[in-house]
A and B are shown apart, each in its own frame.
Chain A
Amino acid sequence: MTRPTREVDVLVVGAGPAGLAAAARLAAAGIARVDVLDREQHAGGVPRHCRHGGFGTWTHPLTGPAYARLLHTAAVRAGAVVRTGTTALDWAGPLALDTVGPQGLETVRARAVVLATGARERPRAARLVPGTRPDGVYTTGELQQAVHLYGQRIGTRAVVVGAESVSYAAADTVRAAGAQVVAMVTELPVSQTTAVRAHDARLRHRVPLLTDTTVTELLGHGRLSGVRVRHRDGRSVQLACDTVVFTGDFVPDHELARRGRLELDPGTRGPAVDGALHTSRPGVFAAGSLLHPVESAATATRDGVRVAAAVLESLAGAERPRHTVPLLVEPPLRWIAPNRVAPGDGHPYVLRTSALSKRPVLQVVQDGRVLHEERLRAAVPNRTLTLTAGWTRLVDPAGGPVRVTLTGR
């Protein structure tokens, strides 16, 4: 039985903020057949289950679900077709994907493909946290869906692993489910969210923050009975709890990118892209958390807008860029996105560091030539660093890789 084939102009995989924003722009610009597919039953991506504020704009603050609806409506109004419950399984050609949904199996051929498949948190196993395998172990994503989308019960006493913004969101969800946050635990010496948020958790909700502390073992048969933690100084204690949430430590959902043998960036583990979000395969673009696991939804939405512009140029027959060179980071920097650069790329870059430093200096160098230097206020792990793009016109497209370093105290 051969699969029916559908022809579209642009196929967008993933109906999160990045995919929906791209589709809305493309359809509004007059592209006739823009298909967005998502394997979930509802469009919107991660914001669907972030039932808290922090989305939208300063003037128009929104909850996650409201933001998801807004983007979905905008895409549909512009004329894009959003097909939910439909999974892109694998490539069927350079610009074609096999899909499946309740309506059956299909091959979708496109003139351009946008991958916007998002990211997930590394679960307990991937972090190699030893111990037994009891019930009650979550990531933020699973926790939020359980509580906000399905109204499921969780335990009564939870430990939250991580102290970045998403960890505080997880703590809020634990409380929304009527449970107590026993402690938040971070290996770093400080929390990695805003001072207001950290104080609020500690003072108003009386959540202890254990810094310089590692979860070394999960305990309990059947249901979780506790976690063992160790402080950097060697002290070890057991925290009694029936729920533990592993937060942060994001990794892109890059299965399609890998199956398609797109070039990946070793830092982000997402597809390597240039400033226009082209991947290594002509006609295939990428956007959102797949490229920078994870930035704010607003950043994903901006990516969507940016990728739409590049797709439009490409459909209009523009030559694929211009020569690009790799953009590499050195430790303590973990990754930068985009991670290939051409002279004149105009959008800022986002980066992540693994070490805390005050007033550090970002330096951009190509073949020993300093292209740019800028002093930052601070660099905190798990928080966004931004590098402006003014220097890209100095890049020699025939030169070696461009390196970004961070030096500081």
Chain B
Amino acid sequence: MTVTLNGPLPSGSYDVAVVGAGVVGCAIARELARRPRLRVALVEAQDDVGQGTSKANTAILHTGFDAVPGSLEARLVREGARRLAAYAGESGIAVEPVGALLVAWDEEQRAALPHLAEKAVRNEYRATRLIEPAELYEREPHLGPGALGALHVPGESIVCPWTTTLAYATQAVRHGVDLHLNSPVSDVNWHDGEHVLSTARGTLRTRRLVNAAGLHADTLDRHLGHRDFTVTPRRGQLIVFDKLARDLVHHILLPVPTARGKGVLVTPTVYGNLLLGPTAEDLDDKRATGSTAEGLALLRESGARILPALLDEEVTAVYAGLRAATEQDDYRITAHPEQAYVTVGGIRSTGLTASLAIASHVTALLADMGLDPGPARDLEPVRMPNLGETHPRPHRNARRVAADPEYGSLVCHCEGVSRGEIRDALASTVPPRNLDGLRRRTRARAGRCQGFYCGAAVRELFEGAGA
């Protein structure tokens, strides 16, 4: 099991290198790990997996009912949703099949609902149903006044994005993939059938290259001479509300997309919070993951209309993610056989859902361009800690506490995180490198007090572990 953080990269040549350890890159690495004969590297600029767009989204497992029919995205989202739901079940990734309601607030939106239902059918999703205001308010009594109806999409679910990325990475590493962190790729040279990647930790050689660099996929593409697309960071700001607000909604409340944009949603999270967001702002800075006063004001204004009682609840967190938008409304997945290179770009707002399907699509492209993957094997299943609120956390499990009292010793009170879970995370296959990484693995410090009670204690455990 190899995860490297510093020092020079291995000198031999890899069969495949995947650049970018977001949810997409990790899924691809995991898929390649099914081929024991391949030597695979996963190369990441930052010190942990999933620290790009993959850590900051709305965490919905989409059915793909409203994708552009016939697009690659539509197919991969549809397939990916099925696969991830099954994978989550066996790996302990929290998923809740809550279903969605697209709520119409004006005539234009109400008129759009039947069209969305038809579009869903063209996307092979047949379970939608139009519902009248009376039923809508019965299902969602806290909804603001004035809703004119809704489209029910029972198949939409919520999922834990952090555990998903981590599960893929863990499984990949356990099956022999080398994960090289702190290795930003600054240049690529292709000659004699080999890619030479220049990274901050020296060069890395590989015979085939997969570009899953998210927001920077266009830059990497340019190093190989391609100018097919440009990534525009489209920021989404979100507000996380306290768990005590959870009972205010029962479904994902989706906005009806109209000519004026996609709009703001309210959704539960698997951690038991409510999310309000995201905004959609086209920027030119790929590091602009900050929130703004205007963005937050806009969200609160939308929230007040959708779910007035929400604004009385405490806010637990605010964050922003950047979607990798391009000039086209579809993924930009392209094979360049002459360079033994695959670009996986433009994975905008559905990449979490589609990740497993993208991975098999990409491995098929690699095979098409002559990679002999050798025989396949089944992967040993991973069991990740389930961070879901509806799943009993270890401290609620009398047997586990009796067997190991560390699970009864709570450190982060707001989230019910025990010392045992922190210990386990620090000793895991892909351990956290900082407190935020620990938070994504355990939820320590992610709760309403944001560290007032537990911050110092959690830091002590983290630093005491010599991490």
Contacts and interface: CB of A to CB of B under 8 A. Distances in A.
Interface in A124-139: 124-126, 128, 130-133, 135, 138-139
Contacts of A120: 449, 452-453
B413 interface: yes
Nearest to B296: A128
A103 interface: yes
A130 B293 contact: yes
A255 B313 CA distance: 12
Nearest to A105: B398
Contacts of A40: 453
Contacts of A251: 314
A133 B459 CA distance: 17
Interface in B445-467: 448-453, 455-457, 459-460, 463
B398 A1 contact: yes
Contacts, number: 111
A194 interface: no
B248 to A, nearest CB: 13
A152 interface: yes
Given A105-B401, A121-B452, A126-B315, A150 B459 contact: yes
A130 B293 CA distance: 6
Contact of A101 (B396, B408, B413, B451): B408
Interface in A99-146: 100-105, 120-126, 128, 130-133, 135, 138-139, 141-142, 145-146
A149 interface: yes
A128 B318 contact: yes
Nearest to A258: B244
A211 interface: no
A156 interface: no
A193 interface: no
Given A39-B413, A104-B408, A123-B451, A145 B291 contact: no
B455 A104 contact: no
Which among B314, B401, B456 has the highest number of chain A CB atoms within 10 Å? B456
Interface residues of A, number: 42
B298 to A, nearest CB: 12
Interface string B405-420: 1101110010010000
Interface string A87-105: 1010000000000111111
B12 to A, nearest CB: 33
Contact of A126 (B316, B451, B456): B316
A87 to B, nearest CB: 5
A139 B450 contact: yes
A125 B318 contact: yes
B39 to A, nearest CB: 33
Contact of B453 (A1, A122, A125, A141): A141
B292 interface: yes
Nearest to B435: A135
B451 A139 contact: yes
Given A125-B315, A125-B450, A138-B451, A130 B459 contact: no
B87 interface: no
Which among A89, A133, A221, A251 has the highest number of chain B CB atoms within 10 Å? A133
A3 B408 contact: no
Chain B interface residue bracket vs A: 35 or more
B395 interface: yes
B89 interface: no
A85 interface: yes
B317 interface: yes
B453 A150 contact: no
A141 B289 CA distance: 27
A179 B347 CA distance: 45
B396 A142 contact: no
Interface string B45-60: 0000000000000000
Contact of B456 (A103, A125, A145): A145
A105 B240 CA distance: 30
Contacts of B463: 152
B456 A87 contact: no
A376 to B, nearest CB: 30
Interface string A200-217: 000000000000000011
B227 interface: no
Contacts of B293: 130, 216-217
Interface string B199-231: 000000000000000000000000000000000
Contact of B295 (A126, A130, A141): A130
A161 to B, nearest CB: 14
Given A104-B408, A152-B460, A130 B455 contact: no
Nearest to A141: B452
Contacts of A39: 410, 413
A236 to B, nearest CB: 12
10 contacts: A1-B399, A124-B450, A130-B292, A131-B291, A138-B451, A146-B456, A146-B459, A152-B456, A221-B287, A251-B314
Given A121-B452, A145-B455, A145-B457, 16 more contacts: A39-B410, A85-B409, A100-B410, A102-B408, A102-B409, A124-B450, A126-B316, A126-B448, A128-B239, A130-B290, A130-B318, A142-B456, A145-B456, A150-B459, A152-B456, A251-B314
